[in-house]
Structure 1
Amino acid sequence: MIYKQQQRTSFQEADSKYPSYLKSFDLSPVYKTYWKFACERQSIYFNRLNKKERPWTEDSVLSVHKFTNTYRAADRVSQYLIKNVIYRDDLPNSAEEIFFRIMLFKLFNKIETWELLEQSFGLISYKNYSFDAYDEVLKKAMERKARIYSAAYIIPPARAFGFDKKHQNHLQLLQKMMSDNLVGKLAKTNKMKQAFELIKGYPTMGDFLAYQFVTDINYSELTDFSEMEFVVPGPGARDGLRKCFKDKKNFNEQELIQLMANHQEEEFSRLGLSFKSLWGRPLQLIDCQNLFCEVDKYSRVAHPDVMGISGRTRIKQKYNYTGELEQPWFPPKWNINEKIAQSLTLHPYK
């Protein structure tokens, strides 16, 4: 196991040479684990892409339990959204149609549900959309005991629309967004927070969910926000923040996440860690937010004496091998896809 149980000593006692931006904090051992976890999880990702034989890590926690990737956009569902939902040459690519596809996919956030709808209706299009037809397909799937929603995060039922079934309310929510021309309003915003506020104004769209959705929309060409301008911590990230920072001083949670993103290169270097970025793209605020959530889970085993807000003490999901990773592909505006193709062809990840 890489991350051995540490003695009960303060971060400052264990690391006498810490930089000025950390001096005011009382940090737990989980803070250092945050950076080690980011490196090791990214190393596993590249080992899989390189088709290296297992084990991909010597870390017993990462070997046994399921964790998301260091970069959110590299996760399986995000990759599917980018490659199979947003950027499709065989589908209508007006702003309205792209927005419809993104929100239809994300309201369920489950690949199997999207593929079920494609199998039922052919090419997904708002122009040919019918509430009754989509409702019928999803009801029949539920009658077969199929799960139509992802367990990644809970999307509450939009009861404001008055239907009995959760999926019916979400289809109505989607229709409401379309009839309001939400995509047109989003296109006029120049700040991610403004777009976030627009999405948050709809039923069930709380802070965390609205932030996740605006991030997914921003993978497309509909908006072009920097992922470094705005962040919203979810419940898991708040747990991770509590475990890393015993005392936040006068910093709020968003500022702490910004601190991590701003000083990532310095911290990897200071701690003697070799971090492989996403082909030159550093960790963004959304990635640092996600890492706090994953480190919260990881530390339940690695640092059981450090408690968060929720008090959870075990990791529920075990890792199950799902096959080799496909070549990743990211939003073209990030300008890294050519680097990926070259690295795979010429010298994979050396």
Structure 2
Amino acid sequence: MIYIKHQLNSLVNNDVDSFKYLKSLDTSPVYETYWKFACKRQDIYFNRLSKKDLPWTEDPVLKIHKFTNAYRAADRVSQYLIKNVIYRDDLPNSAEEIFFRIMLFKLFNKIETWQLLEKKLGAITYKNYSFKIYDAIFQKAMESKTRIYSAAYIMPSGSSSFGFSKKHQNHLQLLEMMMNDNLAGKLARITKMKQAFELMRSYPTLGDFLAYQFITDINYSELTDFSEMEFVIPGPGAKDGLKKCFKSNNVNEQELIRFMANHQEQEFNRLGLHFQSLWGRPLQLIDCQNLFCEVDKYSRIVHPEIVGISGRTRIKQKYSCTRDLELPWFPPKWNINEKIHRTSIMVNSN
């Protein structure tokens, strides 16, 4: 609470105008926990990468419960999307084909579902797409009690928009609508992330949260080239975390997230924290948004007296390490993969 007002005095004039309302804000103890959590979660990530022995953290909550990485693109599903869906030398890489692969993967957001399609179809391409064939594969999977959707977030059924009884059928119809509209080509011509978000948001069943998530995923590819510091939309979990960090009820949530991203270095220094960035890449707006969601969950145990919007008091998912952490690979336009390669050589040589 303390520090935000001091920070504002040192901002350039246009920043002061943008964040003028922050002068009246008051923070709770969860605000400092936000920064501490980011450091601890990132320490776990690097401890895993460097093959350190357990425990990777001394934090009792992080030892037991599952939390996403501090950086969204470092999470398992995002890494799979980047490495195994988007950047494929063995598949056609036109804008149309890349967009088709990304949206097909993200509508289900489940690695096993993509692998099921590859097992049944071989190369996954829009050129060979068939509603009837895809529908049959998903129907058979569900009959055998296989889950084809991730539990990470809830996808609307889409029945009121497309008229099918099964959710996957409506989502295939949504994908067909996007392909028929040449959405890939339209997005490729857009220069602002907010405009791309608004175009995605115009499609049936896609609200603010999903549209923002999908644009972020598309932006991992070469189809678009938006800065992740350009635009942000808070999801329901992030709104809970924001409510817990900031006591004020009159809050511009997007600007608060931007405030966190813009002042991360100062806050880590103020609190005497060592934050390991993503090979020099600072936390972006999408990452700060995600961290609010994770801190909401974390504070249910660490700060049970501070209640958010949802009123939830438990963390459902327990942490279970089932595999070694592979060396990450990020969109080449971020220019950090060579740094990762050099780091891995140094680690292996030791």
What TM-score does the superposition give when structure 2 sets the normalisation length?
0.94
**Equivalent AA in structure 2 for residue 221 of structure 1:** E
**Residue of structure 2 equivalent to 1:3:** none
Deviations 1:156-214 (A, max 9, x none): 01121111100000001000100000001101111001000111111111000000000
1:56-95 to structure 2, matched below 5 A, reads 56-95=56-95
Count, aligned residues: 336
2:247 is paired with a residue of what secondary structure?
strand
**Equivalent AA in structure 2 for residue 20 of structure 1:** Q
1:105-116 to structure 2, matched below 5 A, reads 105-116=105-116
**Residue of structure 2 equivalent to 1:318:** 318
**8 Å Cα contact 1:34/1:295 also seen in 2:** yes
1:347 CA displacement:
4.5
**Equivalent AA in structure 2 for residue 154 of structure 1:** I
Deviations 1:115-164 (A, max 9, x none): 00000000100000100000000000000011000000111011211111
Question: 1:248 and 1:255, CA in 2 relative to 1: closer, same or farther beyond 3 A?
Answer: farther
**Residue of structure 2 equivalent to 1:8:** none
1:248 CA displacement:
5.4
**Residue of structure 2 equivalent to 1:154:** 154
Output the aligned Cα RMSD.
1.6
2:21 matches 1:20: no
1:51-200 to structure 2, matched below 5 A, reads 51-159=51-159, 160-200=161-201
**Equivalent AA in structure 2 for residue 336 of structure 1:** I
Question: 1:18 and 1:254, CA in 2 relative to 1: closer, same or farther beyond 3 A?
Answer: closer
- Which stretches in structure 2 are left out of the alignment for 5+ residues? 9-21
**Equivalent AA in structure 1 for residue 158 of structure 2:** A
**Equivalent AA in structure 2 for residue 19 of structure 1:** H
**8 Å Cα contact 1:196/1:210 also seen in 2:** yes
The separation in 1 between residues aligned to 2:279 and 2:6, in whole angstroms, is 27
The separation in 2 between residues aligned to 1:112 and 1:80, in whole angstroms, is 11
1:322 CA displacement:
1.8
**Residue of structure 2 equivalent to 1:222:** 223
1:23 CA displacement:
5.2
Which one has the bigger helix percentage?
2
1:20 CA displacement:
3.3
1:346 CA displacement:
1.9
The separation in 1 between residues aligned to 2:111 and 2:293, in whole angstroms, is 23
1:235-254 to structure 2, matched below 5 A, reads 235-247=236-248, 249=250, 251-254=251-254
**Residue of structure 1 equivalent to 2:342:** 342
Q: What is the aligned-residue identity percentage?
A: 75
**8 Å Cα contact 1:240/1:292 also seen in 2:** yes
- Which stretches in structure 1 are left out of the alignment for 5+ residues? 1-10
1:323 CA displacement:
1.2
The separation in 2 between residues aligned to 1:87 and 1:311, in whole angstroms, is 41
What TM-score does the superposition give when structure 1 sets the normalisation length?
0.94
1:253 CA displacement:
0.2
**8 Å Cα contact 2:50/2:347 also seen in 1:** no
